[in-house]
Structure 1
Amino acid sequence: MPHTRTIRRWVAVATASVVLLTGCSKIGLTTPQPTPTAGGSATRATPPNGEPAADDTVTKLAQALQTGNLSQLPLVGDPTTITKAVADDYAVIMSGMDGFKPKVVTEPVAYEGNGVAGVALQQTYTFDKSVWKFTTTARLNLVGGQWRVAWKPDIVHEQVTSTTRMRHTRELPERAPILGAQGKAIMESRDLFQVGIDKQNLLQAQWAASAKRVAELMKIDVAAYQKQVASAGARAFVIAKTVRRSELPEAVREVPGAITVTVPGTVGVSAGFAQSLLGAVGKATKQQAKDSAGAIAVGEPIGLTGLQKRYDAQLRGTVGHLVMLVQRRDAPAPKAGEPPFVPLTLHALDPVEGKPVQTSLNTDWQHRAQSALAGQKGVAALVAINTETGEVIASAESPAANGQALATFGRYAPGSTFKIVTALALVRKGLSAQTMVDCPATTTVNGRVFKNYDDYPANKLGRITLGEAFANSCNTAFMLQAKQLGQGDLTAAAAALGVGVDFDAGFPVFYGSVPGTTDPVVAAANSIGQGQVETSPLAVAALGASVASGRTVVPWLVSGHQPKPAAAPLTANEASQLQAMMKLTVSAGAATSLRGVVDGAKTGTAEYGAGNPPKTNAWMVVYKGKMAVAVFVADGASGSQAAGPVVKAFLA
C-alpha cells in the first residue's frame, strides 16, 4: 500500500526517535558480530589443515537468499526440524518485502580454526531506480565434515532480530497534469465520487425504490441498475456511476441507502474533453506491472491511451521506496520500564513527482468544437490550428467516433480540398488564378471517363479562369491541367503546404500521404484528391493554415515536439494566388454560405467504396484571421451541405 505524505513525515520523526534510543540499546536489537577479515590475526583465508573449504556452503547460502528457497541450505541444528524452522523464520522476515530479494556477492571465507568460520555477504536490493546496499555476516560451523550455516535473523539484515522483520512500501507521487494553452490543467488528478446503494444499511423492501431513484438521478438505465442491486450481496455497495463533484446531484443524499464514496481519478476539465487526444488513466494489470520492470505495481495508475499513455513515465514520476524494521506480530510486549518499539527506517527514497505535458489546446475553442459536433449522428471531426504558429487549438470528433482520434489520425481521401495542392503545383508551372483553362463536362484519361460532381453549375463549364475552376471545384479542368505536372510535383507542393511528410510530433498524427505515380489515370485522380492520396482532418487544416500565413505550417500539439518543415517554401506570388482562389470560393464559389463568416475556403467531396453510385465523404477547410479550420463529415453529400454548417456553428 502506498504511504501518504502524512505517514512519511511521521516516519521521519519516528526514525529520529530511534536514533536516540538505539544509543542506549533499549529496543531489543541484537548487536551484529564483527565481520571476519581474511588475513587477520584470528582468521585465515584458507582452511586449516584437515578442514575442507566452505565455498560450497557459502554458494548455497547466497543462492538461498537470492531465491528465497532455503530447502537445500546446510544448517546447524536438528536436521528433522531446523530446515522448516529457518524457512519459516525467513518467510516471516521477508513477508512484507513485496517479493523483492537481494543480489548477494560473498567475500572470501574467513576461517577461525576449530571448525568455525565466517563470511561477509554484500547484499543489493534494486527498487526500480533505487539501489539499497549493505553487508551482513554469516557464521559457519563444521559439523560431521560439512560446513553448515548457524542461522540468525541478522543474516538477512544486521538489524533484524527474532522479534522484528522488514517491510517494503511504495509511495506514489502525485500524477502530473496535462496543460492547455493557457498553462491551466486540462486533465489532472482530482477526487471523484462513486454514487451507489449501500445494501447493508437498507431494508430489502427498499432496494428497488432506492435503486430506481438513484438511477434516475444519475441518468442511467433504471431496470439494469435495479437488477444489479437485487443480485448483489446483502452487504454490497453497488456503484451506479462515478462522477466529478459538479455532476453530483444534491438529491442523492435524500435517497435511503444511497451513499457517495470519494475515489481518486485523472479526468479532463469536463466529461469527454479532448478524450481521443488526452487519453485515459486506469489501473495497471499484472502484465503491465511485469512489463514495467518494477516501475509500476498492480493496481497503480497507468496511462492507457492517448497522451496519458505516450507520456506515462513523465506524468507519473518516480515511485518512492521505503524499507522499515517493524515488529513481528507475535513479538512480546515491552517489559516494565522499557519504551515501546518504534519502527526504524532502513532505506528510503522519496518519490519524484511527474512533470506536466504542455499542449496547445485552447479550452474554450475545444468546448466549442465538441459542441459543434455533438449533434452529428454519424462520424465527423474538426481540427482548428493557429495559422501563424501551427498550434492545434482544438481537435474533436462526434460521439459516433467512439473515442477514436480520427481528427488527427484518420486516413481519408481529401477530395477537392486537395485542389489547393494541385493549384500550387500549377502555379509553380507558371499558371495563375487568372489563367484561362478548359472545364468540360467530362474528360477521358486512358479510357477512363471522369466528370464533375452532380450539382456543378452549368454556367461555369467551358472556358473559365483557373480561379473559377478552383472556386467551383471543376474536376475536369484540374485533371487536364495536371497532365503537365511531373511525377513528384504534387508531392513537393503538398510538402510546402505542410502535408505528406511524416514527423514524430509527440501525439497520434497522420500528416497525409501523397505518393508519386507514373499511371496517368491515378495521376488524374490524385490531382482532385482521390486515387492514392490520403490525409487526416488535421492535414487538411494545414493546407488552409499554410495558404493563410503564406508559408509552410505543420500542425503540432505537444510543446517540445514542433516539427520543422524542410520543403521548398512558398513564394509571395504562390501564396497570393492561392489566397485569391480561396477567397473567390467564398465570394462566388461553392462556399458562399460562409460569406461574412470566413476569409477563404475550399470545399471537398470524396468518393469511396465500390457502390454504384459510390458513397461520399464531405470536407471543408477555411481560414479566418489567425485560425484555420478543417471539418470532415463521413457519408456527407457535399462539403457545402454537410461540413459548412459545422464550420459555421464552430465559428459563430
Structure 2
Amino acid sequence: MSRVRRGLAATVTLAVASMSLTACFEESSPHDAVRDFLVGWQSEDYDLAAGRTDGDLAAVRKALSDAKIELDAASFRFKIKSISLNGDQSQADFRAEVDLGENNPLWVYDSMLPLRLVGGQWKVHWSPSVLHPQLKEGQRFAVSTKAMPRQPVEDRNSTPLQLPQFLYVVGVIPSQLGDKADEVVEQLSGYTGFAQDRLLSRIRSSPPKQFVPLANFGAVRYRELEAQLDKIPQLIIDKQKQPVAPDDPKDIVGKVSALTPETEQKLGGPQRAGDSFGQSGLQRAYQNNLTGSTQTRVITLDVKTDNEVAQLKEWPGRTNVPVRTTIDSAKQRAAEAAVAQTDTSALVAVDRSTGEILAVGTKGLNQEKDALAGRFPAGTAFSIVAADALIKAKMNIKQKLACPAERTVGGARFVTASQVTGASPTFSDNFAKGCVTALASLARRVDAAALAKSAAAFGIGKDWQLPLKSFSGSLPKSFTGSQPLLASDADKAKAIAGQNVEVSPLSMALVAGAIASGSWHPPVLVTEPKSPDSSAEVVSMAAPQPVAVDPKVRSALTAMMLAGAKSSRALAGHTGVHGVTAAGDAEKHLGWFVGWQGEVAIAVLTKNYDPAAVAGEFFSALRDSP
C-alpha cells in the first residue's frame, strides 16, 4: 500500500477513534486529559495535546512534531487499555500503532501516561517517556534501514546468469549537510524527479552519521545526470559493481533497472525510491524474491553525539533468495551458436525425461514472446501428433500413399513442395518428407475427436504453470467444442497438415521429448523458489501431469523420425538423431525441425533457412563441448 493510501486510512481511523474516545468519557476526570492528549497527538493537533500536559507548551509541541519526523511516520493510532486512579495521581495504559511509511512495518508498542492534578485539573505529566517508555531526556528517535543486495538468477548448476554492471548509488550523510538539507533535496528532486518531501523525510529520519541512499542509477542514466549531480557537493556517489546485466538467455533472465519516480508508485512491495527492479523476464516475475525486503530498525540516539543508545524494534525483512533455473549454460551456448548463422530463428531444447527447459536460443526473435509464447503455424510438424491418432486408428506406416503435387480434400486444396516420387512411397516416406498432399488425404481415416485427444496427450492446448508467458498450442474450435464430430474433412485435412493448428517452439520441443522418452512432460523453467512471489503476473494453477505415449505409437514414430533425420543432408553424419524437417508456413517461408539426440529434445523454427542445419549445428556443438 502506498504512503498516500495509508494516510487516508489513518484519517478514517482517527474519526472512529475520536468518537470512541469521546463517547467513553463524558465526566470531568483523568479521562478527559487522556482523550485530548492522544487525539491531539494522533491528529497532529499538537496545541490540543500540549495543553493537556504539565510541560512547557512549545517544548511539548516540538517533541510531538519531531517524533513524527524522526520516525518518518505516516500515521499514529492509539488504543486506551485501562485507566487507574489513586488520589491525586492517575495512570493510563495505552497501545500505540505507528505506520512507518514507505512500505515499512507497523510498529506496535505498549506505553503509559502518568497523570497529576494541577490546579484542580488533570494533566499528563510530561517527559520524553510519554512518547516511548525507553526514550529519555537528551535522546531522539531514528529509523535505520539496510537494503538487501539483489540476488542472482542462476542456471541449473548455480552459476549466475548475469554479468557485472556498475550501479551508481547517490546519497548523503545527514550530519554533513548542516542547514542545507532542504536545498540539497530540492536540487536532487529537480534533476531526478523523485519527490522532494520523501527525500527530505528519509534524511531527517535516518541516523545522522549513516550514509543514506537516495537514488540508484545505471551507467547510462548516471552519465546523463552526472554534470547536474556534480553541482551538489554534498552528494556522495557510491559506485557499486553488481551482477545485474543479463547473460544468455537474456530475454528469459530479464533486465534490471533502477526504480524511477514513475515505477515507484506502480510497484509497491518492499522497494524504496532508487532500488533496483526487474523490468522483464524472470527478474520481473521474481522481483520480491530477488530483492527481499529492507531491514528496518527503530532506535534512539544521543542528541549531542548522534550515537545509538538503544534499539527499540527490529524487522529483519523477508530473506531474498537466488532464482534457480533449469537452463544448462553449455547447451545455451550451443543454441546461441547454432542460430547465429540465421536471420530469423528460434531453438528450444528440453530434457526429454523431465520437460526441463535447457536452452532457448533466438536470432531476430524474442526468447520469451516468440520461443516460449509465440503462435506459429505448425505445418507438417503437426504430423507427429496426427500420426499418433492415425496409428491408433489402425493406420499402417508401411501403407502405400501417393504424393501428388496437388490434391483437394473436402473442397480444400493442398499443394506440396516436397513431392515424394518413386514406385511406391509409404506413409512413413511421406511423413519423413513432409508431403502435405499425402498427409491431407488421410482426413477420412480419423475423426476430429481423436485428433484433439492426441493433441491434448502431447500437451497441445494444456495450461502450463510457467512464470513467464508461454503458449502450448491450439486447434480449431470445431475440434475442441462440444460437437467435434461436426468438423469437416477439409478441417481434418488442414489439421493433419498443420494448416489450422498453432504451436510454439517450446510446445514442439516437448512433443519431441514425449516420443524420445515415452511420456509427455509439462515444461519446467524454475526449480527454486517453487513459485513466484505475489507480484508476478502468473495465474496459480495445478501443473498438468505427465502423459504416457502408447508404446506401439512410440515405436512407429521413433522409426519414422529416424528416417526423417537421415533424409536431411544437414543432419547427415549426426548419428543417433531422430527428427523430421517440416514445413511451417510457405508464404512466410517458415520451416521446422523437431527431434532429439540422447537426452536432449529440440524444436527449431527458421525463416528462409534450413531448420535441420540449425539442429545439426546445435548437436555438433554439444558433442564438441567439454
Is the TM value for this pair above 0.5?
A: yes
Q: CA deviation at 1:322?
A: 0.9
Seq. identity, %: 24
- Contact 1:76 / 1:150 at 8 angstroms: preserved in 2? no
- Indicate how the Cα distance of structure 1 residues 192 and 368 shifts in structure 2: closer, same or farther if over 3 A, else same: farther
- 2:597 aligned with 1:624: yes
TM alignment of 1:344-493, pairs within 5 A: 344-351=310-317, 353-378=319-344, 380-398=345-363, 400-401=364-365, 404-453=368-417, 456-457=418-419, 459=421, 464-493=425-454
Q: In the alignment, which residue of structure 2 is the partner of 1:99? A: 73
In 1, distance between residues paired with 2:302 and 2:346? Answer: 60
Please say if residues 114 and 125 of structure 2, whose CA atoms lie closer than 8 Å, have aligned partners that are also in contact. yes
Q: Distance in 1 between matches of 2:445 and 2:36?
A: 81
- Partners of 2:380 and 2:517 lie apart in 1 by 21
Residue 384 of structure 1, CA deviation: 0.8
Aligned partner of residue 436 in structure 1, secondary structure: coil
Name which of 543, 551, 554 aligns with 1:575.
554
Q: Counterpart in 2 of 1:327? A: 302
Contact in 2 for aligned 1:173/1:352 (Cα 8 Å): no
Q: State the partner residue of 1:522.
A: 491
Can you give the 5+ residue segments of structure 2 that lack an aligned partner in the other structure? 1-23, 169-219, 532-541, 621-626
SS in 1 for 2:82: coil
- The Cα offsets for residues 456-499 of structure 1, whole Å up to 9 and x where unpaired, read as 23626x96311011011111222221233222222221233343
**Aligned-residue offset at 1:430:** 0.8
Q: Give the aligned partner of residue 239 of structure 2.
A: 262
State whether residues 439 and 463 of structure 1, in contact with CA within 8 Å, keep that contact through their aligned partners in structure 2.
no
Q: Specify the SS of the correspondent of 2:51.
A: coil
Question: Are the aligned partners of 1:623 and 1:629 in contact in 2 as well (CA < 8 Å)?
Answer: yes
State the distance in 2 between where 1:578 and 1:480 align.
Answer: 19
Change (3 A) 1:422 1:285: same
Assess, with a 3 A threshold, how the Cα gap between structure 1 residues 501 and 276 changes in structure 2: closer, same or farther: same
Which letter maps to 1:597?
H
Residue 509 of structure 1 pairs with residue 470 of structure 2: yes
Q: Partner letter of residue 528 of structure 1?
A: A
Distance in 2 (alpha carbons) for counterparts of 1:231 and 1:440:
70
Other-structure match for 1:595? 572
What is the rounded CA distance, in whole Å, between the counterparts of 1:629 and 1:152 in structure 2? 74
Whether the aligned pair in 1 keeps the contact of 2:270 and 2:292 (CA below 8 Å) is no
Note closer, same or farther for the CA distance 1:230–1:97 as it changes in structure 2 (3 Å cut).
Answer: closer
**Highest CA radius of gyration, 1 or 2?**
1
TM-score norm. by structure 1 comes to 0.70
Q: Quick one: structure 1 residues 583 and 493, their matched pair in 2 at CA, closer, same or farther if it must change by over 3 Å?
A: same
Provide, for residues 283-306 of structure 1, a one-character-per-residue CA deviation record: whole Å limited to 9, x for no partner.
345676567766332222333322
Give the alignment partner of residue 455 of structure 2, picking from 481, 487, 494: 494
Q: Secondary structure at the match of 1:366?
A: helix
Please identify, of 546-555 and 140-149, the stretch whose mean Cα deviation from structure 2 is larger: 140-149
Amino acid at match of 2:454: A
Q: Secondary structure at the match of 1:354?
A: coil
Counterpart residue identity of residue 352, structure 2: T
- Residue 432 of structure 1 contacts residue 577 of structure 1 at CA under 8 Å; is this kept in 2? no
Instruction: Work out whether residues 350 and 513 of structure 2, in 8 Å CA contact, stay in contact via their aligned partners in 1.
Output: yes
Helix, strand or coil for the counterpart of 1:267? strand
Change in 2 beyond 3 A, CA 1:100/1:294: farther
CA RMSD of aligned residues (A): 3.8
Structure 1 residue 537 displacement after superposition: 0.7
Show structure 1 runs of 5+ residues with no match: 1-45, 195-224, 238-259, 334-339, 609-613
The 1:512–1:60 alpha-carbon spacing in structure 2 relative to 1, beyond 3 Å, is farther
CA 1:146–1:464 in structure 2 vs 1: closer, same or farther (change >3 Å)? farther
More deviation, 300-309/125-134:
125-134
Superposed, 1:180-329 pairs within 5 Å as 180-187=155-162, 192=166, 232-233=227-228, 235=230, 262-267=239-244, 272-285=247-260, 295-328=270-303
- Measured in 1, the distance between the counterparts of 2:545 and 2:395 equals 24
Structure whose residues are more often helix by fraction:
2
Could you tell me whether the CA contact under 8 Å between 2:79 and 2:96 is conserved in 1?
yes
Structure 1 counterpart of 2:324, one-letter code: Q
SS in 2 for 1:137: strand
Q: Equivalent residue of 1:315, what SS?
A: helix
**Aligned partners of 2:152 and 2:393: how far apart in 1?**
50
- Cα shift readout 1:505-545 (whole Å, capped 9, x = no counterpart): 344332222351534233322222221x2211111111211
Residue 527 of structure 2 corresponds to residue 559 of structure 1: yes
Provide the rounded CA distance (Å) in 1 between the counterparts of 2:424 and 2:399. 10
Letter in 2 for 1:277: I
1:650 equivalent to 2:618? Answer yes
| Cα distance in 2 between the residues matched to 1:294 and 1:325 | 27
Measure, in 1, the Cα distance between the counterparts of 2:552 and 2:591: 30
Contact residue 73 and residue 99 of structure 2 kept, 8 A: no
Which of residues 163, 175, 178 in structure 1 aligns to 2:150?
A: 175
CA gap of 1:430–1:372, structure 2 versus 1, over 3 A, is: same
Q: CA deviation at 1:78?
A: 11
TM-superposition CA deviations, 1:86-130 (whole Å, max 9, x none):
44322323323233544421123334555x644222124467796
Helix, strand or coil at the partner of 1:108: strand
1:581 Cα deviation after fit? 1.2
Which SS does the other structure have where 1:459 is aligned? coil
Structure 2 length normalisation: TM-score? 0.73
Cα drift, residue 383 of structure 1: 0.7
Shift of 1:418: 0.9
| SS, match of residue 144 in structure 2 | strand
Decide whether the 8 Å contact of 1:307 with 1:507 is kept in 2.
yes
Alignment of 1:606-621 (within 5 A): 606-607=584-585, 614-621=587-594
Q: 1:181 to 1:645 in 2, by over 3 A?
A: same
Change over 3 Å in CA distance of 1:165–1:321 after alignment to 2: same
Closer, same or farther in 2 for the Cα pair 1:557/1:74, shift >3 Å? same
Q: Secondary structure at the match of 1:437?
A: coil
Question: Structure 1, residues 116-170: CA drift from partner, whole Å, max 9, x if none?
Answer: 6442221244677966443222245678998665554322212224532111122
Residues 64 and 182 of structure 1, relative CA distance in 2, 3 Å threshold:
same
Q: Which amino acid aligns with 2:315?
A: L
Cα–Cα, structure 1 residues 536 and 54, in superposed 2: closer, same or farther, change >3 Å?
farther
Contact residue 521 and residue 547 of structure 2 kept, 8 A? no
Query: Are the structure 2 counterparts of residues 75 and 447 from structure 1 closer, same or farther at C-alpha, using a change threshold of 3 Å?
Result: same
SS at match of 2:502: coil
Q: Does 1:70 align with 2:77?
A: no
- Asked if the contact 1:124/1:132 (under 8 Å) is kept, the reply is yes
Letter in 2 for 1:457: Q
Whether the 8 Å contact between 2:405 and 2:437 is mirrored in structure 1 is yes
